[in-house]
């Protein structure tokens, strides 16, 4: 369960971060194929949409700030479940 939480946090942080410049990042281009880049962008877009739906924010940066506050509150309350409603993610 702990590794799942870490993986989700890493994905959320990646989604928050500025997108890498795929055109000039040689290590990125050497590591990932064009199909991988499409999949990575799709994954980040999916997580962005889930977080925006979960928080009700239309701005991705505001949504992540709200989401991490909710996540932090949940963790301090002893709830180690990731507060994402996956039913929202499928719509």
Task: Tell me if 38 sits within 8 A of 78, measured CB to CB.
Answer: no
For 23-73, what is each residue's pLDDT tens digit? 677 888 888 888 988 888 888 888 888 889 888 999 988 998 898 888 778
**Helix, strand or coil, per DSSP, at residue 51:** helix
What global pTM score does this model have?
0.59
- State the CB neighbour count (10 A cutoff) for residue 36: 11
In-domain check, residue 51: yes
Q: To the nearest 10°, report the CA torsion of 55, 60, 66, 68.
A: 110
- State the CB neighbour count (10 A cutoff) for residue 25: 12
Residue 76 domain boundaries: 2-17+33-90
In-domain check, residue 58: yes
In-domain check, residue 27: no
- Give the whole-angstrom CA distance, residue 60 versus residue 71: 16
């Amino acid at each position: 369960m702990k590794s799942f939480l870490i993986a989700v946090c890493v994905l959320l942080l990646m989604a928050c971060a500025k997108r890498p410049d795929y055109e000039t990042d040689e290590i990125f281009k050497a590591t990932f194929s064009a199909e991988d880049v499409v999949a990575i962008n799709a994954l980040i877009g999916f997580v962005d949409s889930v977080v925006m739906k979960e928080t009700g924010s239309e701005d991705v940066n505001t949504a992540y700030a709200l989401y991490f506050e909710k996540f932090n509150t949940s963790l301090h309350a002893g709830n180690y479940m990731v507060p994402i409603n996956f039913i929202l993610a499928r719509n």
